[in-house]
Amino acid sequence: MASLSLALRVATTCPRQSPARGLGLRLLTSTAGPTTEKNVPYQRTLKETEGPSAVARGPSHPLPSSADVVVIGGGSLGCQTLYHLSKLGVSGAVLLERERLTSGTTWHTAGLLWQLRPSDVEVELLAHTRRVVSQQLEEETGLHTGWIQNGGLFIASNRQRLDEYKRLMSLGKAYGVESHVLSPAETKALYPLLNVEDLYGTLYVPHDGTMDPAGTCTTLTRAATARGAQVIENCPVTGIQVRTDDFGVRRVAAVETEHGTIQTPCVVNCAGVWASTVGRMAGVRVPLVAMHHAYVVTERIEGIQNMPNVRDHDASVYLRLQGDALSVGGYETNPIFWDEVSDEFAFGLFDLDWDVFTQHMEGAINRVPVLEKTGVKSTVCGPESFTPDHKPLMGEAPELRGFFLGCGFNSAGMMLGGGCGQELAHWVVHGRPEKDMHAYDIRRVRLRFHHSLTDHHRWVRERSHESYAKNYSVVFPHDEPLAGRGMRRGGPPGGSGRARLWGCWDPSGCGVAEVHRAPHEHEVLSYDYYGAYGNQAHQDHTYARLLQEEYTFDFPPHQPLIRKECLACRGAAAVFNMSYFGKFYLLGLDAKKAADWLFSADVSRPPGSTVYTCMLNHRGGVESDLTVSRLAPGTQASPLSPTFEGDGYYLAVGGAVAQHNWSHISTVLQDQRFRCQLVDSSEDLGMISIQGPASRAILQEVLDTDLSGEAFPFSTHKLTRAAGHLVRAMRLSFVGELGWELHIPREACVPVYRAVMAAGAKHGLVNAGYRAIDSLSIEKGYRHWHADLRPDDSPLEAGLAFTCKLKSPVPFLGREALEKQRATGLRRRLVCFTVEEKVPMFGLEAIWRNGQVVGHTRRADFGFAIDKTIAYGYICDPSGRPVSLDFVKSGDYALERMGVTYAAQAHLKSPFDPDNKRVKGIY
């Protein structure tokens, strides 16, 4: 057998010839299809059956005429979703698999499970997968799933990587995940075959392990069918029938197969790399791409038995224990795209392209030197699906009610399958998942991927490539992608308000987040695929350099600029470009009924009022926080003043969650059959916000209206003119200062902005960015959705009881859940903490109270006015009792950052201006 070192030597000495030829293996191009099946590192697969071919056999069971839910795809996610649906009491669920279970991508997966990820939600999802596979299934069925707990070892060959692992360790303490930072010597003692001479250290997680895909899926379906679910193999889906209801809403009606039709109101698309094909059957866009992912299985290695699995992120390789051998794989910068996904693919593999795979060998041999003389027993190269933001696609598709996605798992479908399958099942049955799945929710496409991009082939391909290539990159708190930039600059005719403002925005020293368009002074070059596929890597990329300055766990180099903007806002005034905010109108005969039901606060106030409110789900969780302005009927339709019958409301929501808000409101309107319209004017209106002590003096020179406290009170709005243009002015603040928002028709954005800047020149007005907003808002204690507020947090827990009309008799969505929570007591509370030491924190730090971990921080930043680090996090009582205010006040607190604890002070009120004088204009 060829050894890894031979492949490496051939690749480096014969760069123009594929090392696959030197090893007697055939090179696969990106256009080739699957070839002869290879040996995979499992004792068995589910294809090992006797009898005729799947096509000749037909479906394994007769098709029912109807089903409550049809799950398409018999891989990890499909089986997990079916299992959890059955546990929720859905006995009429059917899983359709076109061939045999696991035949797509699941059967060849490496099956690794790492408990720690840089996301608290993913840590919870992984924990559930581990419980299901290692404990619950065996207890329910008596069958062993193939779970092996041999531990996991994360390799750090530089200080930043070790800092990342220390962050994971601190987060793990909040979830009871045991982990240890080891020195090189301790690592060598644990894993004698490991080369540790170039290490800073490692993170050891003893309860990590591996799963057997066939054993897991067999046991999942056995448990599901025992509860009444059905699994039908050899039954390809050929179409999705859709009906349009009386309100014009598209809904799932049936699933068509080669062997009959199943009437159903609900489909869950768990088809993996074939999910886009299934989506097209229903008119649903599924933005993912298929790529080859490979690993090799070595011959026997003496002394490797019982060693932990290894992830060497800096070398971009993983080493999975395979009995007395290793599976070696990784993520390269030039993966092969599978452009023409074959419907005939089943239990197949591609030939390994050694030109692509060889780059992993040097790192693998460096880490485990014995590999240099170890033979290769088999190669495994199969398809995996990757998404533009490296997160799964889950939830109900915005285009079609009853059509759910559970796909695009970026090579992590086995390890996330249990947690995501449970959440998908809850989504289907209860309308929302139990946990906060906003980062996966396909309905949030405006943040994840704007609807204009989900069918944009180049954008999906570039972003998905970067998602693959950066799979093992350090995850920094403010990481931003380079791929897919600049593809939405044009906007509608004339440009959106956001785009128009960039032409006159002062870009000096700024970094530009993904939600903004880049100013022309920082040109965004075309995506270079990191030099892969014959592209020349950019040598001088100013924009990339600006983003790379964010790649730190320390204060970033531009911290002084953020400080300058924040203190200018506190001392004089700052202007913020908020044009990316979502701007909706809720209009019609039932608009008041809809507003009463949708919004937790009482928004049925006189025209001219503006109310900060939440929108909740049926469990009382916060789906959004936003401002709602009551409108007076207009006589002449315009983007600022639409005409309507009945009642009208203007909604302003954070741009990062605009589509999520739109989808939530639309779903509620459809379910409740309210007779009203939701109109999206986000591209028709720009928005700037002027905040600070001098804001009144500045705007009084620009606006044709009296801005005194008596004439223009806080939380009101009115139409007025600025620089000769009609605008809607709102007296609001998101930073804790006197201030106004100006909502401006897009053609008026530039002249109004210039008039504001001219008037503000003598008052010290400065431009400020989103990073300043983050700092200013946390300093004042204003909540951010999705950090401080998520769909599994209630406004009572978050200190936002004032946004809930619980003292009125008016029913609203989530009210019953809040009343129950209030009666039984809050099991956790959001608490503000300040740290005297000037240490950077970003969220995910463990919260210690009297020597016990009671939670972790959701958000952290530096407050420049109080000159302290500030963090917010939910705490609970380890005894399980409700968290009283006395419990919060009586604790001795510390925050753990990268394994080091810092004394912290808990606050029940904002540490900055707790009496709210400044927003009232009292200075």
pLDDT at residue number 308: 98
Cα 535 to Cα 540: distance, rounded to the nearest angstrom: 15
CB count in 10 Å sphere of residue 399: 18
Q: Would you call 570 exposed, middle or buried from its count of C-beta atoms within 10 A (0-12, 13-18, 19+)?
A: buried
Tokens for 438? Answer: 């906003």
Q: Which residues of 384-394 are buried (b: 16+ CB within 10 A; e: fewer)?
A: bbbbbbbbbbb
SS3 160: helix
- Kind and range of the H or E run holding 541: none
Per-residue model confidence as pLDDT tens digits over 772-830? 999 999 999 999 998 999 999 999 999 999 999 999 999 999 999 999 999 999 999 99
Looking at residue 43, what DSSP letter applies? S
Whether 459 has a pLDDT exceeding 80, the answer reads: yes
> What value does the mean pLDDT take over residues 592-605?
97
Return mean pLDDT, the chain. Answer: 90
Local confidence band at 108 (pLDDT 50, 70, 90 cut-offs):
very high
Determine phi and psi for 383, rounding to 5 degrees. -80, 145
> What value does the mean pLDDT take over residues 116-137?
97
Whether 521 has a pLDDT exceeding 80, the answer reads: no
- Residue in 735, 732, 757, 758 with CA at minimum distance from that of residue 743: 732
Query: Distance of alpha carbon 879 from its chain centroid, rounded?
Result: 32
Top pLDDT among 75 and 55 is at: 75
Cα 673 to Cα 694: distance, rounded to the nearest angstrom: 47
- Which residues are within 8 A (CB) of 303 and not within 5 positions of it... i.e. 6 or more apart? 192, 193, 370
Percent of the chain with pLDDT over 90: 80
pLDDT at residue number 445: 53
Q: Which of 535-539, 565-569, 715-719 shows the lowest per-residue confidence on average (mean pLDDT)?
A: 535-539
Query: In this structure, are residues 165 and 181 in contact, taking their beta carbons and an 8 Å threshold?
Result: yes
Whether 504 has a pLDDT exceeding 70, the answer reads: no
Top pLDDT among 153 and 2 is at: 153
Local confidence band at 51 (pLDDT 50, 70, 90 cut-offs):
very low
- Residue in 360, 382, 396 with CA at minimum distance from that of residue 291: 382
pLDDT at residue number 4: 63
- Residue in 613, 598, 601, 679 with CA at minimum distance from that of residue 640: 679
Local confidence band at 488 (pLDDT 50, 70, 90 cut-offs):
low
Query: In this structure, are residues 769 and 578 in contact, taking their beta carbons and an 8 Å threshold?
Result: no
Residue type, 217: C
Tokens for 141? Answer: 């069925």
pLDDT at residue number 5: 64
Cα 575 to Cα 760: distance, rounded to the nearest angstrom: 9
Cα 288 to Cα 306: distance, rounded to the nearest angstrom: 37
Per-residue model confidence as pLDDT tens digits over 368-413? 999 999 999 999 999 999 999 999 999 999 899 999 999 999 999 9
DSSP assignment of 328-391: EEE--SSPPB--S--TT--S-BPPP-HHHHTHHHHHHHHHSGGGGGPBEEEEEEEEEEE-TTSS
Tokens for 791? Answer: 């769909």
Tokens for 783? Answer: 């909540």
**Distances, alpha carbon 744 to alpha carbons 503, 577, 767, in Å:** 16, 11, 18
- Which residues are within 8 A (CB) of 670 and not within 5 positions of it... i.e. 6 or more apart? 247, 249, 401
pLDDT at residue number 540: 82
Tally the C-alpha atoms within 13 A of residue 637's C-alpha that lie toward its C-beta: 7
- Residue in 657, 662, 661 with CA at minimum distance from that of residue 786: 657
Cα 254 to Cα 252: distance, rounded to the nearest angstrom: 6
Looking at residue 716, what DSSP letter applies? B
Task: Collect contacts of 559-562 with beta carbons under 8 A, ≥24 apart.
Answer: 559/862, 561/509, 561/510, 562/769, 562/771, 562/772, 562/775, 562/864
Q: Which of 42-46, 262-266, 524-528, 916-920 shows the lowest per-residue confidence on average (mean pLDDT)?
A: 42-46
- Residue in 274, 278, 275, 135 with CA at minimum distance from that of residue 216: 135
Top pLDDT among 483 and 147 is at: 147
Cα 246 to Cα 224: distance, rounded to the nearest angstrom: 36
SS3 793: coil
Cα 698 to Cα 692: distance, rounded to the nearest angstrom: 10
Whether 17 has a pLDDT exceeding 60, the answer reads: no
Query: How do strand 647-653 and strand 582-588 relate by DSSP bridges?
Result: antiparallel
Top pLDDT among 254 and 483 is at: 254
Cα 245 to Cα 234: distance, rounded to the nearest angstrom: 33
Query: How do strand 725-730 and strand 828-835 relate by DSSP bridges?
Result: unpaired
Q: Which of 17-21, 508-512, 680-684, 746-750 shows the lowest per-residue confidence on average (mean pLDDT)?
A: 17-21
Query: In this structure, are residues 423 and 434 in contact, taking their beta carbons and an 8 Å threshold?
Result: yes
Cα 73 to Cα 102: distance, rounded to the nearest angstrom: 8
Q: Would you call 922 exposed, middle or buried from its count of C-beta atoms within 10 A (0-12, 13-18, 19+)?
A: exposed
Tokens for 155? Answer: 């390799």
Residue type, 589: L
Query: Distance of alpha carbon 372 from its chain centroid, rounded?
Result: 39
Strand partners, 653: 582
- Kind and range of the H or E run holding 732: none
- Which residues are within 8 A (CB) of 183 and not within 5 positions of it... i.e. 6 or more apart? 201
Q: Which of 78-82, 197-201, 241-245, 433-437 shows the lowest per-residue confidence on average (mean pLDDT)?
A: 433-437
Query: In this structure, are residues 883 and 826 in contact, taking their beta carbons and an 8 Å threshold?
Result: yes
Residue type, 670: Q
Query: What length is written for the chain?
Result: 923
- Which residues are within 8 A (CB) of 9 and not within 5 positions of it... i.e. 6 or more apart? none
Whether 585 has a pLDDT exceeding 70, the answer reads: yes
> What value does the mean pLDDT take over residues 63-69?
98
Cα 213 to Cα 42: distance, rounded to the nearest angstrom: 9
Domain 576-774 has CATH 3.30.1360.120: yes
Q: Would you call 162 exposed, middle or buried from its count of C-beta atoms within 10 A (0-12, 13-18, 19+)?
A: buried
Q: Is the pTM of this model over 0.75?
A: yes
Strand partners, 900: 897
Cα 277 to Cα 338: distance, rounded to the nearest angstrom: 14
Extract the runs of DSSP E, i.e. beta strands, from 337-457.
Answer: 376-386, 393-396, 403-407
Query: How do strand 765-768 and strand 828-835 relate by DSSP bridges?
Result: unpaired
Query: Residue 473 — left, alpha, or beta (φ > 0 → left; ψ -120 to 50 → alpha)?
Result: beta
Strand partners, 230: 94
Please report, to the nearest 10 degrees, the dihedral formed by the alpha carbons of residues 586, 587, 593, 597 taken in order.
-10
Per-residue model confidence as pLDDT tens digits over 441-450? 877 654 566 6
**Would you list the domain boundaries of the chain?**
69-108+213-288+390-440, 475-551, 576-774
Query: In this structure, are residues 321 and 304 in contact, taking their beta carbons and an 8 Å threshold?
Result: yes
> What value does the mean pLDDT take over residues 714-736?
97
- Residue in 715, 712, 740, 739 with CA at minimum distance from that of residue 918: 739
- Residue in 425, 424, 418 with CA at minimum distance from that of residue 147: 418
Local confidence band at 140 (pLDDT 50, 70, 90 cut-offs):
very high
> What value does the mean pLDDT take over residues 146-157?
97
With tokens 């479908």, the residue in question is 413
CB count in 10 Å sphere of residue 156: 25
Tokens for 737? Answer: 């200062």
Q: Would you call 448 exposed, middle or buried from its count of C-beta atoms within 10 A (0-12, 13-18, 19+)?
A: buried
Percent of the chain with pLDDT over 70: 89
Radius of gyration in angstroms for the set of CA atoms belonging to the chain, rounded to a whole number: 28
Query: In this structure, are residues 380 and 245 in contact, taking their beta carbons and an 8 Å threshold?
Result: no
Looking at residue 525, what DSSP letter applies? P
At the fourth CATH level, which superfamily is domain 69-108+213-288+390-440? FAD/NAD(P)-binding domain (3.50.50.60)
Q: Which residues of 33-62 are buried (b: 16+ CB within 10 A; e: fewer)?
A: ebeeebebbbeebbbeeeeeebeeeebbee
Query: Residue 73 — left, alpha, or beta (φ > 0 → left; ψ -120 to 50 → alpha)?
Result: left
> What value does the mean pLDDT take over residues 733-754?
97
pLDDT at residue number 609: 98
Whether 62 has a pLDDT exceeding 90, the answer reads: yes
Tokens for 545? Answer: 């350099």
